[in-house]
């Protein structure tokens, strides 16, 4: 009952009545035991329903508690595995790594241990598991994901699809690890670069299927020749690399290379054929952990090429004093990659003169490189490197387009003129160059017969059938074709007749020597006679003296090219009009030579 409002209860000493207490508007919290039961139920359901493997293990690695996912992923029921050591399931090759990592993690409970290793499925297969585990000092608490599919894809990306050997990417990773271990083990690391001889001939004569079988057989033999700790990798084509570590001396590495060479000489039965291979091997040796594995591979490659280029030698050891030479080479390569973007390349043009009229009938475009931060470089100092690194492709496109544009400008000035562009060895091996010619001619609006493509004799002889196909494709565009450096090698007089040519350019080595060498004069005379029969223009290249000029005319050359007649120069300084005509009156005189600017 409520007190009357006109009575003050405090006056008679009575205890004042208490108002009714109301609960707060918010929902009251659950009892602590109820919360604990709910969390425990959720954790239990999470433990049972997750697709990841969960485990509690003793410090010794015995399994104490496993979730149902173990049966889904590895086929083992948790009740079968509790009490057993997890080491029973780990792949032998991964066991040591797992033990080292867990020992390390046990000493640092605040850190999680993460690693990937293989575990045996109930059916005998292996599954890759990615683990994350932490130790509280008494037990291990671990979770794992099945990453078998991902590891399979990564393995495919790291191995050669034909031989299943490690590829370059995996090789470099293992080389880095081997170099890092030098801090602890000392010793030496060696890289052997192996290049098979005559493999292309086997492919061409016996077929690519036989070539593939041969590579697979050789891969197995190489793996049998090295130690289990060594790595045999295939870089592609007929190139293999061996990575060997824990060596004690240079002689041990060279001994391995000699065993490889001896093994390759043993006959191999491939299909119905029996093949005997030869190879060249380059060796690079290192005992410095700080070295870059890419440098080791490059050094072994250089040593291999030096061995291949030395008669009677098939084994080369990279010498330390070569590193300075390689550093300079890498510097040139680095600057060469930016030469076009920095507008450092120039074209000069050297006319070729018809002996009958004394008038130029064409100009050869010659490449010059003027680096901003270095002296000008001669073509022989950078073009071979451009070929090796395939930088020649971009440089060749630029030369072709620039030469066509210059020829078009000359035509617009009333000077119809043939411009010659040299085809690189790489371009001579691909018919796609014909499309590049069409694009350059279309863009410059130059008639096809105003362009001549020159291909060296050496490039043609490297693969005659492919070169013939390439030149035929170029001929279909309508351009003229000249065989350059003719007579520099050992080609026969019949070679020009096998190709769709308009001219042969007799190599300067013959021209410079035939003043004193009757044999060279005989070769030039035979070459010019053959050219007349085939209705080709025979151009004597490298004319430097009056006597050379006289002999070239007497032996039947139709035209000449050389500094005596006209030096290479920038297009704006060349005189291609009537003033450049060479006098045809006897005695025959060359163009007056002008002072270089």
User: What local confidence, expressed as pLDDT, does residue 19 receive?
Assistant: 44
90-96 average pLDDT score: 83
Do 298 and 201 belong to one domain? Answer: yes
pLDDT band for 560, please (50, 70, 90 cuts): very high
Tokens of 438: 């069409």
Average pLDDT over residues 50-78: 92
Per the prediction, the chain carries an average pLDDT of 84
CATH number at residue 54: 3.30.450.20
| Mean pLDDT of the region 96-120 | 77
CB atoms within 10 A of CB 81: 19
Residues 73, 121 within the same domain: yes
Same domain, 501 and 472: yes
- Tell whether 296 and 394 lie within a shared domain: no
What's the rounded mean pLDDT across residues 362-374? 91
User: What per-residue confidence (pLDDT) applies to 588?
Assistant: 40
- Per-residue model confidence (pLDDT) at position 268: 87
Containing 517, the helix (H) or strand (E) segment is none
pLDDT at 360: 83
In a domain, 423, yes or no: yes
**Domain termination site, one of 107, 131, 151:** 151
* pLDDT reported for residue 594: 42
**394 inside domain:** yes
Could you tell me if 66 and 207 lie in one domain? no
Residue 329 has pLDDT above 90, yes or no: no
Nearest-CA neighbor of 113 among 126, 124, 104, 121? 104
Please tell me the total count of domains within the chain: 3
526 within a domain of the structure (yes/no) = yes
| Res. 440: pLDDT tops 50 | yes
Binned at pLDDT 50, 70 and 90, residue 9 comes out as very low
Looking at residues 363-375, what average pLDDT do you find? 91
Give percent of the chain with pLDDT exceeding 90: 45
Q: How far apart are CA 126 and CA 118, in angstroms?
A: 6
pLDDT at 13: 41
The boundaries of the domain holding residue 463 are: 330-573
Number of other CB atoms surrounding residue 411 within 10 Å: 17
Q: Which pLDDT value is given to residue 320?
A: 67
Both tokens of 397, joined, read: 């496109």
- Listed range (41-45, 400-404, 522-526, 592-596) with the worst mean pLDDT: 592-596
CB neighbours of 334 closer than 8 A, spacing ≥ 6?
Answer: none
One domain for residues 199 and 343: no
Residues 309 and 338 in one domain: no
Q: Please check whether residues 423 and 538 belong to one and the same domain.
A: yes
pLDDT band at 23 (very low <50, low <70, confident <90, very high): very low
Q: Residue 23 falls within a domain, yes or no?
A: no
- Sort strands 503-506 and 480-486 into parallel, antiparallel or unpaired: parallel
- What is the C-alpha separation between 333 and 403, in angstroms, rounded? 24
Q: Is residue 7 part of a domain?
A: no
pLDDT at position 529 is 93
User: Could you tell me the CATH number of the domain that includes residue 174?
Assistant: 3.30.70.270
166 and 91, same structural domain? no
Q: Are residue 463 and residue 335 in the same domain, yes or no?
A: yes
Q: Please report whether residue 33 resides in a domain.
A: no
Among 34-43, 177-186, 187-196, 382-391, where is mean pLDDT lowest?
Answer: 34-43
- Output the CA torsion 399→401→402→403 (10° steps): 80
Entry pTM: 0.53
Q: Write down which residue in 320, 354, 385 finishes a domain.
A: 320
Both 444 and 513 in one domain: the answer is yes
Average of per-residue pLDDT across 324-334: 77
Say whether pLDDT at 577 is over 70. Answer: no
CA distance 435 to 421: 15
Inside any domain, residue 366? yes
Decide which of 151, 186, 218 is a domain's last residue.
151
534 and 453 housed in the same domain: yes
Rounded Cα–Cα distance for residues 162 and 235 (Å): 11
Q: Please, what sign has the CA dihedral across residues 374, 377, 383, 385?
A: negative
Query: Tens digit of pLDDT for each residue in 135-151?
Result: 888 888 999 999 988 87
Instruction: List residues bridging with 313 in a β-sheet.
Output: none
Q: Which CATH number covers residue 335?
A: 3.20.20.450
Output the pLDDT for position 210: 87
pLDDT at 216: 92
Burial class of residue 596 in the structure, from the number of CB atoms within 10 Å of its CB (0-12 exposed, 13-18 middle, 19+ buried): exposed
The pair of three-digit structure tokens given for residue 432, joined into one six-digit string: 């796609």
In whole angstroms, what separates CA 166 from the centre of its chain? 15
Map 363-405 to HEC letters: EEEEEEECCCCCCCECHHHHHHHHHHCCCHHHHHHHHHHHHHH
Residue 33 pLDDT class (50, 70, 90 cuts):
low
Residue 342: inside a domain: yes
């Amino acid at each position: 009952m409520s007190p009357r409002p006109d009575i003050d209860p405090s006056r008679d000493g009575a205890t004042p009545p208490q108002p009714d207490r109301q609960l707060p508007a918010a929902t009251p919290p659950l009892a602590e035991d109820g919360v604990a039961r709910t969390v425990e139920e959720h954790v239990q359901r999470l433990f049972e329903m997750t697709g990841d493997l969960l485990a509690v293990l003793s410090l010794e690695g015995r399994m104490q508690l496993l979730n149902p996912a173990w049966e889904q992923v590895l086929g083992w029921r948790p009740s079968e595995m509790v009490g057993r050591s997890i080491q029973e399931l780990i792949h032998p090759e991964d066991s040591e790594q797992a033990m080292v990592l867990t020992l390390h993690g046990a000493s640092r409970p605040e850190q999680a241990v993460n690693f990937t290793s293989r575990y045996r499925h109930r059916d005998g297969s292996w599954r890759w598991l990615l683990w994350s585990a932490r130790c509280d000092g008494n037990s291990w608490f671990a979770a794992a994901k099945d990453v078998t599919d991902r590891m399979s894809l990564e393995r495919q990306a790291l191995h050669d699809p034909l031989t299943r050997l490690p590829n370059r990417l995996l090789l470099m990773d293992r080389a880095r690890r081997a170099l890092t271990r030098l801090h602890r083990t000392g010793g030496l690391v060696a890289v052997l670069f192996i290049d098979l001889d005559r493999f292309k001939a086997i492919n061409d004569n016996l077929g690519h299927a036989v070539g593939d079988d041969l590579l697979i057989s050789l891969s197995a033999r190489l793996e049998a020749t090295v130690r289990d700790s060594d790595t045999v990798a295939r870089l592609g084509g007929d190139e293999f690399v061996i990575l060997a570590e824990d060596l004690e001396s240079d002689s041990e590495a060279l001994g391995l290379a000699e065993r490889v060479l001896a093994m390759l000489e043993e006959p191999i039965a491939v299909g119905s054929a029996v093949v005997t291979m030869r190879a060249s091997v380059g060796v690079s040796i290192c005992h410095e952990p700080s070295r870059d594995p890419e440098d080791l591979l490059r050094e072994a490659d250089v040593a291999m090429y030096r061995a291949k280029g030395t008669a009677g030698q098939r084994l080369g050891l990279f010498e330390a004093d070569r590193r300075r030479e390689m550093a300079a080479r890498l510097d040139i390569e680095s600057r060469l990659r930016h030469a076009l973007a920095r507008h450092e390349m120039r074209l000069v043009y050297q006319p070729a003169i018809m002996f009958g009229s004394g008038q130029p009938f064409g100009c050869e475009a010659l490449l010059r490189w003027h680096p901003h931060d270095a002296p000008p470089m001669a073509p022989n100092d950078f073009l071979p490197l451009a070929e090796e690194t395939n930088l020649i492709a971009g440089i060749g496109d630029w030369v072709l387009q620039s030469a066509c544009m210059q020829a078009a400008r000359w035509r617009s000035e009333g000077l119809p003129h043939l411009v010659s562009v040299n085809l690189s060895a790489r371009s001579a091996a691909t018919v796609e160059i014909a499309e590049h010619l069409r694009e350059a001619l279309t863009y410059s609006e130059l008639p096809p017969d105003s362009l001549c493509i020159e291909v060296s004799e050496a490039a043609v002889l490297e693969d005659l059938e492919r070169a013939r196909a390439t030149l035929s494709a170029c001929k279909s565009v309508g351009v003229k074709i000249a065989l350059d450096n003719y007579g520099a090698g050992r080609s026969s007089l019949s070679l020009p007749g096998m190709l769709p040519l308009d001219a042969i350019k007799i190599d300067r080595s013959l021209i410079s020597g035939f003043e004193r060498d009757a044999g060279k004069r005989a070769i030039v005379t035979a070459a010019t006679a053959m050219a007349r029969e085939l209705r080709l223009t025979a151009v004597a290249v490298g004319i430097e003296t009056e006597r050379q000029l006289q002999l070239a005319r007497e032996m039947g050359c139709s035209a000449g090219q050389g500094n005596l007649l006209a030096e290479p120069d920038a297009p704006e300084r060349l005189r291609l009009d009537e003033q450049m005509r060479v006098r045809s009156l006897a005695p025959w005189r060359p163009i007056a030579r002008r002072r270089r600017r």
